[in-house]
Structure 1
């Protein structure tokens, strides 16, 4: 599991980005990859999985 912070999340469109706190990498996150509801600036834990357009954050939950 990785730790990070929600940089952006659009609830209407159901996607956003999470910034990894260790590597500073940004990962795309889709509403289907969420366990908990998230908002901008939330601290979260997540796993990284290969998606259609690169790496995606999945199993995202509040830290």
Structure 2
């Protein structure tokens, strides 16, 4: 889906990717300590955050810039 104004579209997509990644991080920080020790849960939550941010950025740069 291409728009006439790709710059504005990519900014909105970047912001939404960051927001979703932050929500995933917060949810993982609350949920994962119930499943594993707190140290490992924090590490896994941070890794998930990095994966979501990287994946979103890669997708946006491939399709919208």
Alignment TM-score > 0.5, same fold:
no
Measured against the shorter chain, the TM-score band is under 0.3
TM-score relative to the length of structure 2? 0.19
Higher RCO (C-alpha under 8 Å, 6+ residues apart): 2
Please state which structure has a larger fraction of its residues in helix: 2
Please state which structure has a larger fraction of its residues in strand: 1
TM-score relative to the length of structure 1? 0.19
Choose 1 or 2 for highest CA Rg: 2
